[in-house]
Structure 1
Amino acid sequence: MSRKRRIVGVDLIKVLACFSVIMLHVSMPFFYSDGAFKVGNTIVLSKTVYYLGTSAVPLFFMANGFFLVNRAKMSINYVLNKIGLIMIPILGWNLIVFIPKIILKKNENGYFETVLGSLIQKGFFFQFWFLGALIIMLFLVPILNKIMKSSIKLYVIVLIIFLIISWLIDLYNHFSGAIPLQKNVIQTFRVWTWISYYMSGGLIGNLIKKINFIDFKKQLNYFSVVLTVLTIIYSIYNAAWISNPFAEYNYDNILIFIWIVTIFLTCISTTKFSKHSTKIIESISKYSFGIYIVHVIALKIFEKVFVFDGIFINLITIIGVFLISWLITFVISKTPYVNKLVVF
């Protein structure tokens, strides 16, 4: 498998993850609000769209692990530089929101309190929790990188340990009758989950040098379709089982894990890209970081225009939020000095 194709495959994963996270954040209000499920004939369709987005965050972690765990040279300076680049948009976007609040005298918290809040899923930029979790993973990368280089067997053993922890937590949620254990831990700090996906991406990045996944392309396509259907069915019924509809509580499930890994393998085994499609994929992938950041702003705009009712408006909102986020990111990326707010 050529390096070029592998890179386009991972770019495709980033595009899929980017679009999926918008599906997650847009679709929830269409079937669940004020702590209760809505009723209606099209609700199941909105649930389907929502749970299709479950792969978003895990795929982001896997894509990062795919490259960084297998990086030839890994140093603390590299890690600190990466963290610095992540902190620029975190500080910048929070400042943009914080300044008007000061002017209007509506600020309840200090600036740095606001920044820290965004990293633990609070405030306007609640989605920055992912960046907080990514920073934690970056601190762990040198260790994972060293383990990978020293012993692939040890790496696999460590990965299996974290997978077992994740799957046991999921089993507990199903049979304890209690609220999901993860609910007691902010997403930023669910390290066992993120390490499982991050290390899985790293393992695939290592195996791709030895295994030609193209040979399994047909099987991967088949299993992707089957597992996608099973995931939707499972997720809808599981929401009632654990009395919680949020996709974040499915990340530790073994079926969901296998589904997401299969999607990842399917994407990197895809080799037939036209020049036009390659250009589009690489363009969206390049701005995926910015789209993830600004999609909340675009969603706020749509919330002022549409009433969240019906699958048609749901799909229109998803596409609209995606396109507006892409446009905003593109314009900012071409603007001197502020382009660091959307490009990582």
Structure 2
Amino acid sequence: MGGGVTYSYSIRKIKQLAAVLIRWVLVISFCIGVGGYVFGAEELIAIPKLFLSTFKGTLLQRGLLSHCWFLWSLSFIYILLPTLSRLSMSRKRLIFGVTVSLGLLVHIFSCVVGMPLEALVPQAFRIWIWLEYFLLGGLIYPLCKKGVRVWTSGMFLAVSTIVAVGWQLFAGSFLMPETACAAHAEYFYDSVTCVVWCSALFVFVEALRPSRKPWIHLASLTMGVYLFHKLVICFAGCFIPLDDVVWGSSVGFLAVLFSSFVLVGIIKKLIPNVFDSFCRL
């Protein structure tokens, strides 16, 4: 989080994000268009229309590439990065405190009115949340450098996980039941329990010494796992009841995570050009 980040760097990263996004939209639109033509549901001429609707869906969180909203939110952070990188640590802490407070207020009011107010804003535009987590990583990292035991950080992560999941199930089932919030983690990203959980996860990963080669290899696959996991979910849903709160958040989660890592690892090993085009940001 040091200073010196230039606008040319941010523009270059945004161009890379846009290129990956457009490739995904092109491939998915083509596959849907051709598939519809083969099965008599659509005409090939509909592919341009599919491209536009799919591209729009990445921003508004709709369709098969709804999870690609993350690339948009990341682009917004890159726009702010040159300015953020030049702020003093005290100002970063101040902005972090403001975003945490804003998120807490939104979450409290959501519980009071019985529906997630976050749902009124597409995920890509919930800038207060993504700015909060971006700053969180930079604020926690200096603490991790002092050294944290794996056992201590692991226990903290386990406890914070139980608390975060418990709060989501309780609030989603009883305080905000109208939209079945218990099944949607996105409505709890700005809750204190989720912020604490993310902090615990960050500290635990740092305690595992991620500079070692196996961790570096896994880290290189994580963005690919995120981009491919929606396709894996579509396939895994045929065998595992992912909509079930218990099965979906336990067996389903682990199955999708493991399968996604295996798939992306195979792609990186056997067809690196495809990996670079669709997974490397």
Matched, 1:239 2:239: no
The TM-score with structure 2 as length reference comes to 0.82
Question: Do the aligned residues in 2 keep the contact of 1:129 with 1:188 (CA within 8 Å)?
Answer: yes
* Aligned partner (choices 146, 163, 185) of residue 86 of structure 2: 146
One-letter code of the match for 1:195? L
One-letter code of the match for 2:221? Y
- Number of aligned residue pairs: give it: 264
Residue matched to 2:208: 270
Question: Do the aligned residues in 1 keep the contact of 2:20 with 2:279 (CA within 8 Å)?
Answer: yes
Superposed counterparts of 1:27-38, under 5 Å: none
Structure 1: runs of 5 or more not aligned: 1-68
Residue matched to 1:304: 238
The TM-score with structure 1 as length reference comes to 0.68
* Aligned partner (choices 235, 256, 261) of residue 321 of structure 1: 256
Residue matched to 2:26: 95
Superposed counterparts of 1:102-251, under 5 Å: 102-103=33-34, 104=37, 105=42, 107=46, 109-147=49-87, 151-175=88-112, 177-205=113-141, 207-208=142-143, 212-214=146-148, 219-240=152-173, 241-243=175-177, 244-245=181-182, 246-251=184-189
1:330 to partner: Cα distance: 2.9
Q: Give aligned-pair identity as a percent.
A: 20
1:318 to partner: Cα distance: 3.6
Residue matched to 1:284: 218
Root-mean-square deviation (CA, aligned residues, Å) is 2.8
Question: Alpha carbons of 1:315 and 1:258: their partners in 2 closer, same or farther (altered >3 Å)?
Answer: closer
- Secondary structure at 2:208 match in 1: coil
Structure 2: runs of 5 or more not aligned: none
> 2: distance between equivalents of 1:114 and 1:188?
15
> 2: distance between equivalents of 1:336 and 1:313?
31
- Secondary structure at 1:74 match in 2: coil
Question: Alpha carbons of 1:225 and 1:76: their partners in 2 closer, same or farther (altered >3 Å)?
Answer: same
Question: Do the aligned residues in 2 keep the contact of 1:332 with 1:342 (CA within 8 Å)?
Answer: no
Matched, 1:343 2:274: no
Question: Do the aligned residues in 2 keep the contact of 1:220 with 1:266 (CA within 8 Å)?
Answer: yes
Question: Alpha carbons of 1:93 and 1:213: their partners in 2 closer, same or farther (altered >3 Å)?
Answer: same
**Larger relative contact order, structure 1 or 2 (CA cutoff 8 Å, min sep 6):** 1
Question: Alpha carbons of 1:321 and 1:174: their partners in 2 closer, same or farther (altered >3 Å)?
Answer: closer
Question: Do the aligned residues in 2 keep the contact of 1:117 with 1:123 (CA within 8 Å)?
Answer: yes
Question: Do the aligned residues in 2 keep the contact of 1:287 with 1:329 (CA within 8 Å)?
Answer: yes
> 1: distance between equivalents of 2:222 and 2:116?
30
1:288 to partner: Cα distance: 0.8
Matched, 1:75 2:9: no
Question: Alpha carbons of 1:250 and 1:323: their partners in 2 closer, same or farther (altered >3 Å)?
Answer: closer
1:247 to partner: Cα distance: 1.3
